[in-house]
Each structure stands twice: as C-alpha cells, then as structure tokens.
Structure 1
Amino acid sequence: MASGEEKMALGGYICNDCIDSRIACADYDIATPNLDLRSSPFRKAANGLGGQRGTPSNNDVHELLECSVCMNLMYPPIHQCPNGHTLCSNCKARVHNSCPTCRHELGNIRCLALEKVAESLEIPCKYQVLGCHDIFPYYSKLKHEQNCRFRPYNCPYAGAECSVTGDIPFLVNHLKEDHKVDMHDGYTFNHRYVKTNPQEIENATWMLTVFNCFGRQFCLHFEAFQQGMSPVYMAFLRFMGDDNDARKFSYSLEVGGNGRKLVWQGIPRSIRDSHRKVRDSQDGLIVPRNLALFFSGGDMQQLKLKVAGRIWKEQ
C-alpha cells in the first residue's frame, strides 16, 4: 500500500489488487428460532418465569416440553415411544424410529396429553436474557421469536464464513478485534480502490469500513463480481440495527472522473438482510467495469476508482 495514498479524507482506504485474493462470498441469514441458548448461565432464570404467572411447578412442565434429543421446546406433533419417552418431530426423523432413551421402536404414537398441556401455558420469549420481557401463549411464542427485535444479529462481515451472533455492541467489537475491520468516526468518507490489472475480475467481497455516527454504526461494503456476462463493481451501506431504525437514515455514494460522476442515494439496509440478499437485489451503487475505467482515465491499464459518500439522519 503506497504511503502517499494513505493520507486521505476521513475513512480513506486503498485496496491494491484486493480482487485477486479470491475471497469467497458468504450468505448470512437471520438468526433462526432454534438458536441454542442452552449454554447461557441465564437459562434457568428464564425458564423460571415460564408458565402462567402464579401457577406452581411450571419449571417441571417446561422441562417436560423439552425434546430429550435437541432440548428445544416441542410443538405438535409431539411423539412418544410405548414407554412414554417424548421427542420432537424433527428429531424423530433423525433417530431412525428408535427411542433415544430406551431404544424401543417409536412407531407413530402422538403424546396428545402433553400437546394439550402446552395449550394452557404462557412462557417468556427465549430472548428474555437479551431484553425481551414479553410473555406469550405457548403456541404463539415460536412465531414471535422468529421476528423478535431482541433476537441476536449475525456477524455482518462478508469476507469469510462467520457464525458469530450477538447484540450490536458485541458485534462491533468482534468486527474490530477478530476481522480487523477499520473503524471510523464521522458521516463522510472517501475511499480509493486501485487495481493494476482490471481485465481480471473474480467474485470478491470485503468490508472496507464501519462508520460510527449519530450514535449508530454503518457498514460500507465494496466488491467486484460478474453480473451476467458483465464485470461490475458495487458499493452499498448496511445499518447495524433493525429495519425500523435503518429507515431513519439515508446515504449517498458517488464515483467520478474525466468531468463526469455517477451518484447513488438510498436507505441503508439492515444487517437483518444478508449481504448476499442486498447484493443480489442491486440495492447500491453499481459501476460497470468499462465506466470504472473511464473514470480512471480511460487508458484501460489501471483501475483507480474513488468512492465518496455521506450519511445523514432523516428529519
């Protein structure tokens, strides 16, 4: 990295031949409702609030509704072996019709009594330890958890497979410490992408910067990939938070050269949407390679693409 190029406007960054690194694209979907919180030290505390308030022994009922294999709560159909051992339908398909407790053949026996008991229960959201204090009827709980605003976020880093989940402060620190992502304070930025051989293009994706402004964090992505038969460069912004908060902000990106410029304005997408989903929706600044080379001077020998941007809060 040339030392002279490094002294740029706030958020400036140079990536020389980054595209040749063959960094694989990753898809980060939202956390599933089966997120395993069994290892949490708060699990017993959360379970202690299960059931109808004021009803004794709800912990025991709650434990009865836990699958003996995966330890997740069971929903109809709940299966049992002739000896009364229960398990969920997902695990039944995996144990080859043999009870994991007594090894007796399972058959197709439904535990209707336990399903009926579940209908009478009200239990807390499993993300209670993360801030959700609502209590739901047993069969409404799962639907809520799929969209609970307190559910953990997936790591938004798109340069490698990463299974880390957590709240926003945790993920910001994770990006900084584990992925070595650049962190900048401010709402404007100016990046330069340099490639010595622009005729070679492969799918590559990486995160340039996390910006901290207005008390929130934004992830700037820049990547190169084939769109159909055409090589393109793409930049877009993601918001580290939910959709409702993301819509409170707007951003602009622009590239230019030779007296011309291309401008994009949009709303940052929440990191609830995977990186791949945002990219494939083309919700960002897309620059065809030929136009990028024109902005670079048009000699087709070297790509020097400047990406400038600004983030602001809507009134």
Structure 2
Amino acid sequence: MFCKEVTESCTTSMDSDLATSSAELGSSNYRKADPGLSGNPGRPSNNDVHDLLECPVCMNLMYPPIYQCPSGHTLCSNCKVRVHNCCPACRHELGNIRCLALEKVAESLELPCRYQILGCHDIFPYYSKLKHEKNCKYRPYNCPYAGADCSVTGDIPFLVMHLKNDHKVDMHDGCSFSHRYVKSNPQEVGNATWMLTVFNCFGRQFCLHFEAFLLGLAPVYMAFLRFMGDEDEAKEFSYSLEVGRNGRKLTWQGIPRSIRDSHKKVRDSQDGLIIQRNLALLFSGGDKQELKLKISGRIWKEQ
C-alpha cells in the first residue's frame, strides 16, 4: 500500500532524550568524532554502520525501537510519527516492522564520545554513549546570561569574551565587591533581572545575579553567585553576601552554583540571599519611592 504525499517538513530534531544531534554543538568549529575503528576487508566498517544508524529524516542516531518499511528503509520512532507512518523514501506505509537486525548490530559498536575534539578520549558501547555525553565534563557550557534567551555555547574562555563583547557585561577583578542596585518604581516587581557582573577571582570567573520575582504572592529580590565551571570545582569555593542600612543587616553564606545549573533553577531553589520587598525598601531609606540596595560580598577558597 502506498500512502499520500507528505508535505510537512521532516527535519525537526528528535524530542526524545535519546537523540544525539550534531546540531547541539551550534555553529562552533567542532568536528564529528571519528570512531577510529577499522573494518575487516570485505565487511562494512564500524564507521559505515554508524552511518546506517543515522535517521535519514532528522539525521540523529537511532535507538530502539528502529522501524523499517517493507522495502527496508529505516527511520527512528519519533520521525515515524512525524511522517504520518509513511516512508519518506518510497512512500510505502510503514506499519510496525522493527529492524531488529540493525538494533542488534548497534549493540556491538563502540564509539568515542562526541566531545572527543574537546578533550574526552573515552570509548563507549553504542547504547551507553549518549548517557555519558549528557554528563560529560568536556561538553560545552551554556551562556550564563539571564537577561534574555541566549543559545550560545562554548568553553569558559569563549563565554567570558562572549559575555563581555556581546552582552556588555561588567567585568571586575578581585574577590571582594560592593554593588548598588537601583529601581525607580519598586512597586513594579514582576520578573526582572539585573544582569550581570562577572568577577575574576583565584584565576576563575564568578557570575553575580540579582533578580526580582514573585515568591508565591510575595514580591522579593534575590542575589546569588554562580561559578563558571563544573559543580565539583564550585565546591572548592564559598561566598558571602550582605545588605543593610541604619544598623540593620541581612547576610547570606553559601557555595556558588555551577553554571551547569541555569539561573532559573538556582532562583527557584532559593539558594541565595532573599530580600522581602518591605525589607528592601527599608534598606533603601524607607520612603518607598525608590529601590537603592547596596550589596557587598566576598569570595574565598576553602582549604
């Protein structure tokens, strides 16, 4: 049976958590990792099998269930839904035929991490490779800028220059700081972000965030620090924040969160200095006409 012509685009990337798209690395000059495993004469190499495992629709690597049409064309389970059960190659109806042979062959493959070019030299069985890549310490970092959606990824030196040049973020040297945040109409809380200050300290970089949002129905302000690196490195440091005026003081001490955690995740976990609006206005002078908060802080390295 032949099915109707499919007119919708089939190039959308996979929604499944098992998708490994080469587009994840963005426009960077990362090259695809070479399996480096040669085949025997007269037999297809592992690299050839790797190519067979790429879905012809979304170009992602396929994981079970892998489907095939009566003519033998294969595609992933997500794309099977997107093409309305119609083979994009021969227009035959797909049905529910599993390509068990290809699934079995995939079990025998060992491939390098996709971040090989960035320094990861481990080799993994095909079906466990993706799980490793989701947590590989060499994978690129997301841009930590919170003032707008930014899809840029890269290593830390690249992101530091990106923050400075593209987001015009203030850069400061030193492990102690004092910053003033001003808002002309503090009654308009909503979700707002004063973003961002980056500190160079101990040869590493730290991002100071200050945000306004509603905690339930209560308008609050929050300041917190993120570390530009992985979580295990972030735990080597501590920081303190302080805000106050007229003999009153509010302090916070904690461990900076890695930028692997989004600013929203940190904010929602309330892992930082939280200031209720009435208290923030008291620290601002008490006239409730303008927010003027001076936040001081210090970063130190644990012994």
Q: What is the TM-score of this pair, normalised by structure 2?
A: 0.87
Residue 156 in 1 paired to residue 144 in 2? yes
One-letter code aligned to 2:34 = N
Q: 1:123 aligns with which of 111, 122, 127?
A: 111
- Sort the Cα spacing of 1:299 and 1:128 in 2 relative to 1 into closer, same or farther, 3 A: same
Q: 1:49 aligns with which of 30, 36, 46?
A: 36
Q: 2:222 aligns with which of 229, 234, 242?
A: 234
- Sort the Cα spacing of 1:252 and 1:65 in 2 relative to 1 into closer, same or farther, 3 A: same
Q: 1:246 aligns with which of 234, 244, 263?
A: 234
- Sort the Cα spacing of 1:98 and 1:39 in 2 relative to 1 into closer, same or farther, 3 A: farther
Paired with 2:40 and 2:232, the residues of 1 have a C-alpha distance of 32
Residue matched to 2:277: 289
Residue 140 in 1 paired to residue 123 in 2? no
CA contact (8 A) 2:238 2:254 kept: yes
Q: 1:67 aligns with which of 55, 58, 64?
A: 55
Counterparts of 1:260-275 in structure 2 under 5 Å?
A: 260-275=248-263
Paired with 2:174 and 2:52, the residues of 1 have a C-alpha distance of 52
- Sort the Cα spacing of 1:33 and 1:295 in 2 relative to 1 into closer, same or farther, 3 A: farther
- Sort the Cα spacing of 1:95 and 1:256 in 2 relative to 1 into closer, same or farther, 3 A: same
Residue 109 in 1 paired to residue 97 in 2? yes
Which structure has the higher relative contact order (CA within 8 Å, separation 6+)?
Answer: 1
Percent identity between the aligned chains? Answer: 80
Paired with 2:21 and 2:80, the residues of 1 have a C-alpha distance of 16
Residue 312 in 1 paired to residue 300 in 2? yes
One-letter code aligned to 2:36 = L
Paired with 1:278 and 1:38, the residues of 2 have a C-alpha distance of 25
Q: How far apart are 1:47 and its partner, in Å?
A: 2.8
Q: How far apart are 1:41 and its partner, in Å?
A: 5.8
Paired with 2:44 and 2:52, the residues of 1 have a C-alpha distance of 15
Residue 78 in 1 paired to residue 66 in 2? yes
Q: 2:83 aligns with which of 95, 101, 112?
A: 95
Q: 2:210 aligns with which of 210, 219, 222?
A: 222
Q: How far apart are 1:303 and its partner, in Å?
A: 2.1
RMSD between aligned alpha carbons? 2.2
CA contact (8 A) 1:50 1:124 kept: no
Structure 1 runs of 4+ off > 3 angstroms? Answer: 32-35, 37-44, 50-56
Q: How far apart are 1:43 and its partner, in Å?
A: 3.5
Q: 1:201 aligns with which of 180, 189, 203?
A: 189
Aligned to 2:82, what secondary structure does the other structure show? coil
- Sort the Cα spacing of 1:68 and 1:283 in 2 relative to 1 into closer, same or farther, 3 A: same
- Sort the Cα spacing of 1:33 and 1:256 in 2 relative to 1 into closer, same or farther, 3 A: farther
One-letter code aligned to 1:248 = E
CA contact (8 A) 1:188 1:310 kept: yes
- Sort the Cα spacing of 1:38 and 1:214 in 2 relative to 1 into closer, same or farther, 3 A: closer
One-letter code aligned to 1:286 = I
Q: 1:278 aligns with which of 266, 276, 279?
A: 266
One-letter code aligned to 1:306 = K
One-letter code aligned to 1:104 = H
Q: Deviations over 1:35-54 (max 9, x none)?
A: 5259776545x234257999
Aligned to 1:292, what secondary structure does the other structure show? helix
Q: Which runs of 5+ in 1 are unaligned?
A: 1-31
Residue matched to 1:25: none
Paired with 2:125 and 2:29, the residues of 1 have a C-alpha distance of 24
Paired with 1:204 and 1:38, the residues of 2 have a C-alpha distance of 28
Residue matched to 1:23: none
Q: Which moved more, 1:79-88 or 1:55-64?
A: 55-64
Paired with 1:108 and 1:51, the residues of 2 have a C-alpha distance of 34
One-letter code aligned to 1:255 = V
One-letter code aligned to 1:124 = P
Aligned to 2:134, what secondary structure does the other structure show? helix
Q: How far apart are 1:56 and its partner, in Å?
A: 7.0
Q: Deviations over 1:239-279 (max 9, x none)?
A: 11111111111000000100111110000011111111100
Q: Which runs of 5+ in 2 are unaligned?
A: 1-18
Q: What is the TM-score of this pair, normalised by structure 1?
A: 0.84
Residue 180 in 1 paired to residue 168 in 2? yes
One-letter code aligned to 1:149 = K
Q: How far apart are 1:132 and its partner, in Å?
A: 1.0
Q: How far apart are 1:187 and its partner, in Å?
A: 0.9
